[in-house]
Structures are given as structure tokens and as C-alpha cells.
Structure 1
Amino acid sequence: MKKKLAPIVISFGLIGLAGCSDDNGGGNSENGETEFGNVLSTSDAGDVTTDDILNQIGTSTVANQTFQLTLDNILKDKYSDAVDTEQIESQTDEEIEQMGGEEQFSMALQQQQPGMTVDKYKEQRITNAYHDKFFEEKFEVTDEKAMENTREASHILIAVKDEESEESAPQQQQAPQSDLTDEEAKQKAEDLKKQLDEGADFGELAKEESHDTGSAENNGSLGYVQKGQMVEGFDKALFELEKGEVSDVVKSEFGYHIIKRHDEENIEDELPQIKKQMVSKEIQENQDKVLEYYKEVLEEYNADFENEDIRTFIEDTYLNPESQQSPEQPTTEQPAEGEDASAEESTEENAE
């Protein structure tokens, strides 16, 4: 039932180069960063220089990392006063505690991204926050806009039997299971709506009757749903409801729904995550604008890439809207953050 979104770049984690290296080895300066110098080794056969290593890594990888670090530095300078780094570190410490301590958390990080440490993970989250602020500003994702385009919802789904289920493709087999004909499903949904009108508890009915097993386990809850996230009929009905109101029976390609809009008393607490999801959607749908915004901020900070090959690669890949070459697009942050994705998770299993 939910429209499935492709992976999106919110902030760059290009190629995983930073996460794959271990910065704990070698000689470190007072600020904790290794000072490599130009010549890394000497022998009678010749020297090994920093350029040799960078050429071995490859121009595209070095250029990607250069572009990322340049953006990171600029956005840190631009939004450092707008990001509560202590809060992010505190949230991470809570995640570590919930996972049974730093050792367990570190193991989970290593499985997701070899070489990633807890300190690097905290730094990555802070950097991501700078990028989030940047795109919130550029796409004008305000608190008011987020609340206007978000609803807290639950639903009861009565699915219709798929006559072609035995021959369906694997993705179709994930649709909600039902033995009801269209007429029977509609009649059952109408009977449930009548029970609700007579005072039945929505959550109990959802738990007992809904064919969306993911949300049914949570009394039908879909969490916070953004406008355009659900299929058209569902979306239209939800955004016409007043707070606390329950819809009539609504038909979609998945069957018949009864939708409840909640009072959304705690929506302000969820705004950071809601806005982040809205930014993700904007980025996916406006890649040309993303490139324009990057170019603007680089010009604002007088950024220049001294190496000609690196500069050409970055211009062709990121700064030229007419370019046919697409930048590598890593996925957003890993689930280790423990972020709320209730609306996405509750129906994706049954309704992709």
C-alpha cells in the first residue's frame, strides 16, 4: 500500500572510504589526525609517495572523498550553531545502552560497515545533521509545513482474494492474504464500520480483523504518514479527516480500508524525524535542484579544487546539471540509529 522510495542521499557517505579505514594506526599529531607527509617510504628501488597511494586508490574515489569533505566542512561552518551536538551524542549513548553496551554496539557497527567505530559513528550523525539543516532550509521544510503535510493514522484493511495468487510473481505474493471476494470484503468492512459507529474500540477491531498483519499487531497504527506516501485513494481520504475522525469504507488496490486520524498530540516531538523524511522525499524528487544547491554553497564559500582531474570529475559528476554521469548514491543512515519508521515498516511487508 505504501509507495516505495528508492535509496536517497541526505548527506554523503561516498563509497564508504572513511569507514573502511582505521585511523588508529600510525603516527598521530596532537589533534588526533595522522600527518602522512609526502614521502611514505624510501628504498633503493625508489620512494613511495602520497601521490602513489592516491593514484592506486583511483581518481574517482579521491575526488568523491574530496567533494564530501569539502561539503562537510562548509556545512559544519554554516550550521554549527543550529545543531545540538551534545543531544546527538546523548541519543547515541542511549542507543548504545539499549543494545547492551558499547561492545555489542561496536559489533553491530562493524557488521554494517567494517572499520566504523563508535566515535566515527557519532561524528557521522553530527555531519548528517548539518546536511539535514542545509536541505531543510533549501527545500523550505519548516515545522508548519511538516505538520500540515503529516497525519498520525491507523487503519483496518479487509483484503480481497487475489484470483491469480498461485501464478503471481514473488513481490505479488507479499500482498495481504484473503479468501474474500470483492463483494464479501466490502460487506465485512461495512459491518466493521457499523460496529465502530456503535462504539467498538478501533484498536481492538484492527488487532482482530485487519488483514494488514504488520499494523494489526499495533492496533492498526501506521504511525505518522506524510502526504503522498500512501496509495491515492487512501491518501485522499486520510487528509480529508478531522482529528479523531474515522473514515467511511475506502477502496484501494489492496481492498477496503477504514481509516482513523489521531489527535496528533505528540507530533511536535516527532517533527525532527518527520522533517528528515520530508527532506528525503524532496531530494529524491528534485535531484537537479540538489546539484544546484551544492553548486551555490560551494560558490558562497569560494570552494576551489586545485587538482585538475579532481575538479573535472567533481564538475562533471556533481556540479553540471546537464551531465549524464550520476554520482554514486549510498543509502541513508543505518538502522542502528533506532529511528522511528513505524508507518513505513507496518505495511511494507504486506503491501509493496
Structure 2
Amino acid sequence: MKKKLMPVVIGLGLLGLAGCGNGEDGSSDSENGSGETEFGEVLATSDAGDVTVDDVLNNIGTTQVANQTFQLTLDQVLQDKYSDEVDPAEIEEEVDAEIEQYGGEEQFEMMMSQQQPGMTADRYKQQRIASTYHNLFFTEQFDITDEEAMEGSAEGAHILIAVDEESEDGLSEDEALEKAEGLIADIEDGADFAEVAEEESDDGSASNGGSLGLVTEGQMVEEFENALFDLEQGEMTSEPVETEFGYHIIQRGDEEDIDEELEEVKSQLVNQKVQENPDQVLTFYQDLMDEYSVSFENEEIESYIQETFLTSEEAASEGEESGEGEESGEGEESSDAENTEEADTEEPAADDESAEDEEAESEE
């Protein structure tokens, strides 16, 4: 059985929260005051007949309707479960700040539409809010602690002195190494690492004092990563670290006040664990549906959701094996019955032969 789980989990709320996806901006001209559109059962009438909501849903197809039904139900339940832990207004403010960094809403939406056609700023905000609820749920279910998230992470900063022997103003390898060694000496003599990074680093992180935030294992090239993770908190490399990009002066942060970045690392761990443990995710979903007494009223939708999102591969395999066993058993019973019938039909023939023998003997 092919699972449809991954698109739902990877999207983590792509459809937005229940009640927020009525239009591109989550609003409609015919709202009932609660932000939800009142469609009614009949959408159009004509001399040829009516067009109903059922007509539209049947045209969309059971599979898609069931997928969206499950997604919206899941979003709604998680929103209720973690309502005290999430501030949607705060998330919207964070997105607004991101939009400004990209040069405004128009520029932001152009960039987003290249990755996800049709994506708007408002829909992106709803996606981020929904993702926050989902991440909280899976972080709790997988019991991902701060300690676990930090095991393969380190707060890093660096100053890059690039090697560029082709351009007129570029540095040769020897010149870049010499410059990096000189900057290390300056910092060890008291110069501020962040200020040196802003003035001298050839990396985009220079504007942020060389800060890279939390670096997770596998994120950087091997030479850089090994050097960073070998450092103690607050320590800086005593020698430049050479990579394909040039020479780096690497500093490990004290890893304090990183709550926001820690949540990003937890989110990465969530996605990893979801991909690695799909059957466990299905169990989490089933428990959540039971906790909230969720009932899918349409039998076809209920059957599809149960099979696709709430039944593990192992359980499905056991069910299939059980079904095959039952069919096999029925076949055996049928064979036994046929054998019995054959035996019954053969017995009278044997009696006839016995009677003929008796007659022959009496004639003799």
C-alpha cells in the first residue's frame, strides 16, 4: 500500500489552518463574521438543474477531498492543543521583518512564487503558523530535548580570507594565509572578533560580525566542521583553517540566548525523524485523533484516511496476510467438502458392486 503521509508531513500545514484557506488572502466577500465562508448546499440553479456542494466535491475527487479533510482536521486539532504555546501575531511580525529584508512584499512574493507557485505573503504566514503547531506536536511526541538538539550543533562564527589569484585585487594562497595569521594575532592581542569580521571577512556573514548561528553536523565542509566542533565554547582557532573557499578564522560561541535557532535545529530533527519513522508518525496521528474524538462522517473519506494516514505498513501487512489466510482456509474447507462429496458419491457404487457379487454367488 502506497502511503500519502509524506506530502502531508513535509508540507506541515501547506493548506493553512482550518478556516484560513477560503481564498488567497483567507477572506471572502460572503463571510459569516467568523472568517469562514458560508457556501450553502446549492451553489447554482438553472433550468437544467442545480449544482451542489456534493457535485463540486465529486468533481474534485474523493482522494483530494479526503487529503484536505485530514489536513484541515489535523491543523484544527493541533491549533487547539497548542493554543497556549503559540502566538500567531508574533510569527506574523517575524515574517513581516523577513519581508522587509527582501525589499518589500512584492519582491518577497516574486521570490516565493519561484519556489511555490501561487504563494502569497499571507499564505506564507499561515503556513509558518501551521508549521509551528506541527513542530511542537512532533517535538513532544519524539521527545526531542534541548540537549539532543545541541548534541550535533555548535554556535559558530568565522572570518574568511578568500584566495583569488585570477583577479588583480585578489590574494594569492600565501598572501591569504599571511593575512589570516595576522588577523589571528590582532584578535589575540585584544581586537574584537566581530569588528574584524565586519571589516575583513570575504563572506556574507561579515555584516553580522561573522556569525553563522547554530551550525549542525553535515552543514559545512569537513575541514571547517571538524575545526569548529573541536573548539571549546568561546574558543578561537589558533591557526587558519584551509578549505576550498580560502582560509578561515573560526570561533565557537558560548551558545547562550539561542532559543530561536535551537527551535530551527529541533525542526530539522523533527523532519529527519518523521522521514525515518513513518509508522510511528501514523501511530501519533491515530492517538491524536482518539484524544480529540475525531470522526469522519463520510464512509469513503473515513476509509481512505484510515488506510492512508492512520494505519501502519506493519498493520496493513498483517491485515493482508490475515486476509490471505482466511481465503486459503476457505479454499481448504471447500476442498474437504468436495472430497467428502466425491466419497459420498463413490460409496453407493461400491454397494452396487457388492450386491452384484452376492447375486452371482446365489446363482452359482
Q: Match for residue 89 of structure 1?
A: 89
Give the CA deviation at 1:60.
Answer: 4.4
Q: Match for residue 134 of structure 1?
A: 137
Q: Match for residue 281 of structure 2?
A: 293
**Residue 210, structure 1, aligned to residue 211, structure 2:** no
Q: Match for residue 13 of structure 1?
A: 14
Residues 270-303 of structure 1 show CA distances to partners (whole Å, capped at 9, x for unaligned) of 3144223432344046414256314422344235
Paired amino acid for 2:28 = N
- What pairs up with 1:160-179 in 2 under 5 angstroms? 160-161=163-164, 179=171
**Residue 283, structure 1, aligned to residue 275, structure 2:** no
Give the CA deviation at 1:209.
Answer: 3.1
Give the CA deviation at 1:136.
Answer: 1.5
Paired amino acid for 1:274 = L
Q: Is the 8 A contact 1:178 1:211 kept in 2?
A: no
- Measure the CA separation in 2 of the matches of 1:296 and 1:34: 31
Give the CA deviation at 1:228.
Answer: 3.6
Q: Go from structure 1 to structure 2 and tell me whether the alpha carbon gap of 1:121 and 1:155 turns closer, same or farther (over 3 Å shift).
A: closer
Paired amino acid for 2:57 = L
Q: Go from structure 1 to structure 2 and tell me whether the alpha carbon gap of 1:47 and 1:80 turns closer, same or farther (over 3 Å shift).
A: same
The structure with the larger Rg is 2
SS at match of 1:47: strand
- Measure the CA separation in 2 of the matches of 1:200 and 1:112: 40
Q: Match for residue 25 of structure 1?
A: 29
Q: Match for residue 45 of structure 2?
A: 42
Q: Match for residue 209 of structure 2?
A: 219
Q: Match for residue 255 of structure 1?
A: 246
SS at match of 1:229: coil
Paired amino acid for 1:133 = L
**Residue 80, structure 1, aligned to residue 83, structure 2:** yes
- What pairs up with 1:108-127 in 2 under 5 angstroms? 125-127=128-130
Paired amino acid for 1:256 = Y
Residues 295-324 of structure 1 show CA distances to partners (whole Å, capped at 9, x for unaligned) of 42234423555556545665676567769x
Paired amino acid for 2:66 = A
Q: Is the 8 A contact 2:149 2:265 kept in 1?
A: no
Give the CA deviation at 1:32.
Answer: 4.1
**Residue 232, structure 1, aligned to residue 222, structure 2:** yes
Q: Match for residue 168 of structure 1?
A: none
- Measure the CA separation in 2 of the matches of 1:110 and 1:184: 42
- Measure the CA separation in 1 of the matches of 2:134 and 2:187: 45
- Measure the CA separation in 1 of the matches of 2:253 and 2:207: 17
Paired amino acid for 2:223 = G
Residues 206-256 of structure 1 show CA distances to partners (whole Å, capped at 9, x for unaligned) of 2343222x0123332223333443222222221222232111322333232
- Measure the CA separation in 2 of the matches of 1:233 and 1:97: 34
Paired amino acid for 2:44 = S
Paired amino acid for 2:243 = S
Identity of aligned residues (%): 45
Residues 135-169 of structure 1 show CA distances to partners (whole Å, capped at 9, x for unaligned) of 21133332333455443322112233488x9xxxx
Q: Match for residue 345 of structure 1?
A: none
Q: Is the 8 A contact 1:10 1:283 kept in 2?
A: no
Gaps of 5+ in 2: 1-8, 315-364
- What pairs up with 1:181-220 in 2 under 5 angstroms? 181=173, 183-212=174-203, 214-220=204-210
- Measure the CA separation in 2 of the matches of 1:42 and 1:190: 80
Q: TM-score, length-normalised on structure 1?
A: 0.65
Paired amino acid for 1:223 = G
- Measure the CA separation in 2 of the matches of 1:60 and 1:134: 25
Q: Match for residue 349 of structure 1?
A: none
Paired amino acid for 1:139 = F
Gaps of 5+ in 1: 1-7, 166-176, 324-352
Greater helix content? 2
Tell me how many residue pairs correspond in the alignment: 291
Higher relative CO (CA 8 A, sep ≥ 6), structure 1 or 2? 1
SS at match of 1:20: coil
Q: Go from structure 1 to structure 2 and tell me whether the alpha carbon gap of 1:316 and 1:180 turns closer, same or farther (over 3 Å shift).
A: farther
Q: Go from structure 1 to structure 2 and tell me whether the alpha carbon gap of 1:223 and 1:315 turns closer, same or farther (over 3 Å shift).
A: same
Q: Go from structure 1 to structure 2 and tell me whether the alpha carbon gap of 1:124 and 1:288 turns closer, same or farther (over 3 Å shift).
A: same
Output the aligned Cα RMSD: 4.2
Q: Go from structure 1 to structure 2 and tell me whether the alpha carbon gap of 1:275 and 1:94 turns closer, same or farther (over 3 Å shift).
A: closer
302-311 or 53-62: bigger deviation: 302-311
SS at match of 2:242: strand
Q: TM-score, length-normalised on structure 2?
A: 0.63
Residues 94-141 of structure 1 show CA distances to partners (whole Å, capped at 9, x for unaligned) of 8669979xxx869967996869686x7766554333212112113333
Give the CA deviation at 1:13.
Answer: 0.6
- Measure the CA separation in 1 of the matches of 2:310 and 2:193: 51
Q: Is the 8 A contact 2:279 2:313 kept in 1?
A: no
Q: Go from structure 1 to structure 2 and tell me whether the alpha carbon gap of 1:108 and 1:201 turns closer, same or farther (over 3 Å shift).
A: closer
44-53 or 68-77: bigger deviation: 68-77
